[in-house]
C-alpha cells in the first residue's frame, strides 16, 4: 500500500450526524496511509459514535471541549491546528456549516476552525431537503468563497429512508479527495482522455480473443491526472478495477468500440494517453451461433487488422497532445524510439512486458525527441504521478 498521507498531520472534526459511523472507517484508512490524525468531536457527534472508538482507531487522544485540561496551556484550539496540514470536517452537519459561515466559536471544533492556519475541507452530511434548503446552499457557496473546500455530498439512499443529494462521501472517496488535495495541480483546467485495459474480440457468442492487460497502469494514470486537477475521461476495456474517484468512465469491449468512443471525444481534449492494450486484429467473420466442436477439424479463423486509435488521433488537425505506451518483450529502446516516430507522437512510455502485466510495480522509460529517460522502479501509482508530471512539463512545448 502506498503511504499517500505519510508525514501529514490532519485534524479530523466530527459534527453531529449518522454519517459519524463512516468516520471510524475513515480515520482507520487515514492512519493506514501514514497520516497522524487528531480527532475532535462536537457534543452532538458523541451521540452518534463514542470518543473511545475514535481514540482506539486514531491511536491518539480525542478532544471534545475547549476546557480540556490535558493541554497544559488550555489552548487546544491553537495547539491542535498549529503544524496541521489540513482540518477535515466529516461529517459536517447543516448547523456546523452555518456556524463556519458566521465565524462562530462556541465549542472546540468551531473555535479551532476559526483559529486554524491551514486549509479547511468540509464533507457535508444531511437529509436531502436540508442540503437543498436555500440557507444551506447559500452557506455552501459562501464557504467556497471563503476558500473552504466542499467535498461532495454524494447522492443515494439516506439513513432517513429518503433518496437524494446529501449523503456524506464514502471513506474511500474522502480519502481520494484528501490525497488529491495534497498533489500539485499541474493539469488544472486541462481535459485528459485515457484508454486502458484490454480489448475483447469475439469469435462467436461465447468465445473471445483478448490479452492479459489488467488496466492498472491506465487507471493509475487516470487517478493521477484527476489528482493533478484535470477533467478525466477513461475509456476502458473490461477490467476488475473500480473507477478512480472523480473520473468519468466509458466502458467498451472491442477495439472498434474503443476507436469510436475515443474519436467521439478526442477533438475536445487537451491530452490523449493511449494505455489500452488494443487487440491488433479481430476475427473477420464472427459466428452468429456457437461454433460446435469438431475434434478432427479445429476451426480456422481469419483476421482483419483493427484501426490504430493512437495513430489516428495523432493525425487529427488541432487534436490533443498524444502519449503512447509500448510493452515490448525485447530491444525496448530501439522499438520504442521507432514506434514513437511511426505513430507520430511527442512522447511514448515504454516498458518490458514481462515486468508489467498485472504487477503492482513497474519499470518504465520515457521516450521523447531528446532520447530515453528511465524512471526508477516503483509502485504503479507513484510512477503514474511521475508520468503525469513529465507530461505536464512537456505538454505546452515539445513537438514530435
Ligand atoms: N494502440 C492503439 N490502437 C491500436 C493499437 C495500439 O491506440 N489499434 C496504442 C496503444 O494503446 C499503445 C500503443 O498504441 O499506446 C502501442 O502500440 P502497439 O500496438 O504495441 O504497437 P504496434 O504498432 O502494434 O507495434 P508492434 O506490434 O510492432 O509492437
Give residue 184's pLDDT.
96
pLDDT band at 397 (very low <50, low <70, confident <90, very high): low
Domain architecture of the chain: domains with CATH = 9-181 (3.40.50.1950), 191-395 (3.40.50.10300)
Q: Give the distance (Å) from ligand 1 centre to CA of residue 320.
A: 18
Q: Which residues are catalytic?
A: 160
Give, as one character, the DSSP assignment of residue 96. H
What are 365's strand-pairing partners? 350, 374
Residues whose CB is less than 8 angstroms from the CB of residue 72 and which lie 6 or more positions away in sequence, other chains included: none
Quote the CA–CA distance of 235 and 233 in Å, as a whole number: 7
Is it the case that residue 316 has pLDDT exceeding 60? yes
Range name among 9-23, 37-51, 153-167 with the lowest pLDDT average = 153-167
For the segment 86-125, what is each residue's pLDDT rounded down to a tens digit?
Answer: 999 999 999 999 999 999 999 999 999 999 999 999 999 9
Mutating to test ligand 1, I would choose from 218, 266, 276 the residue with most ligand atoms within 8 A of its C-beta, which is 276
Quote the CA–CA distance of 216 and 356 in Å, as a whole number: 9
Q: How far is CA 135 from CA 44, 97, 139, 146, in A?
A: 21, 10, 6, 16
Is it the case that residue 303 has pLDDT exceeding 60? yes
Question: Does ligand 1 lie within 6 Å of residue 201's CB atom?
Answer: no
Instruction: Identify whether the C-beta of residue 316 lies closer than 8 Å to the C-beta of residue 339.
Output: no
C-alpha cell at 116: 486554524
What are 272's strand-pairing partners? 193, 322
Q: Which three-class secondary structure state does DSSP give residue 252?
A: coil
Question: Does ligand 1 lie within 6 Å of residue 179's CB atom?
Answer: no
Instruction: Identify whether the C-beta of residue 117 lies closer than 8 Å to the C-beta of residue 92.
Output: no
Helix-strand-coil percent breakdown of the chain, rounded to 5? Answer: 35, 25, 40
Give, as one character, the DSSP assignment of residue 34. T
Question: Does ligand 1 lie within 6 Å of residue 306's CB atom?
Answer: yes
Quote the CA–CA distance of 41 and 107 in Å, as a whole number: 10
Amino acid at each position: 500500500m502506498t503511504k499517500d498521507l505519510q508525514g501529514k498531520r490532519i485534524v479530523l472534526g466530527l459534527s453531529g450526524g449518522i454519517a459519524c459511523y463512516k468516520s471510524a472507517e475513515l480515520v482507520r484508512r487515514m492512519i493506514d496511509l501514514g497520516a497522524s490524525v487528531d480527532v475532535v468531536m462536537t457534543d452532538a457527534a458523541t451521540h452518534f459514535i463514542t470518543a473511545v472508538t475514535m481514540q482506539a482507531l486514531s491511536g491518539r487522544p480525542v478532544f471534545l471541549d475547549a476546557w480540556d485540561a490535558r493541554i497544559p496551556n488550555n489552548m487546544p484550539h491553537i495547539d491542535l491546528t498549529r503544524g496541521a496540514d489540513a482540518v477535515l470536517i466529516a461529517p459536517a452537519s447543516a448547523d456546523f456549516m452555518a456556524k463556519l459561515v458566521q465565524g462562530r466559536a462556541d465549542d472546540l471544533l468551531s473555535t479551532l476552525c476559526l483559529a486554524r492556519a491551514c486549509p479547511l475541507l468540509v464533507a457535508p452530511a444531511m437529509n436531502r431537503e436540508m442540503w437543498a434548503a436555500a440557507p444551506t446552499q447559500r452557506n455552501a457557496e459562501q464557504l467556497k468563497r471563503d476558500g473552504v473546500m466542499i467535498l461532495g455530498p454524494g447522492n443515494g439512499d439516506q439513513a432517513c429512508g429518503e433518496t437524494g443529494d446529501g449523503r456524506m462521501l464514502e471513506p474511500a472517496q474522502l480519502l481520494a479527495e484528501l490525497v488529491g488535495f495534497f498533489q500539485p495541480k499541474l493539469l488544472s483546467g486541462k481535459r485528459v482522455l485515457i484508454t486502458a485495459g484490454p480489448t475483447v474480440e469475439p469469435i462467436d457468442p461465447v468465445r473471445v480473443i483478448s490479452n492479459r492487460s489488467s488496466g492498472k497502469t491506465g487507471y493509475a494514470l487516470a487517478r493521477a491526472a484527476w489528482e493533478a486537477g484535470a477533467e478525466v475521461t477513461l475509456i476502458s476495456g473490461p477490467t476488475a478495477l473500480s473507477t478512480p474517484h472523480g473520473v468519468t468512465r466509458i466502458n467498451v469491449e472491442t477495439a472498434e468500440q474503443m476507436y469510436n468512443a475515443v474519436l467521439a471525444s478526442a477533438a475536445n481534449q487537451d491530452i490523449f494517453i493511449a494505455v489500452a492494450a488494443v487487440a491488433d486484429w479481430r476475427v473477420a467473420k464472427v459466428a452468429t451461433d456457437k461454433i460446435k466442436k469438431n475434434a478432427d477439424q479445429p476451426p480456422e479463423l481469419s483476421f482483419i487488422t483493427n484501426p490504430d486509435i493512437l495513430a489516428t488521433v495523432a493525425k487529427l488537425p488541432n487534436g490533443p497532445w498524444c502519449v503512447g505506451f509500448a510493452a515490448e518483450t525485447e530491444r525496448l529502446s530501439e522499438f520504442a524510439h521507432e514506434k514513437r516516430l511511426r505513430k507520430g507522437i511527442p512522447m511514448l512510455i515504454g516498458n518490458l512486458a514481462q515486468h508489467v502485466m498485472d504487477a503492482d510495480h513497474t519499470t518504465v522509460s520515457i521516450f521523447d525527441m531528446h532520447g530515453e529517460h528511465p524512471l526508477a522502479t516503483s509502485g504503479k501509482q507513484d510512477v503514474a504521478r511521475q508520468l503525469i508530471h513529465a507530461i505536464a512539463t512537456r505538454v505546452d512545448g515539445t513537438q514530435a
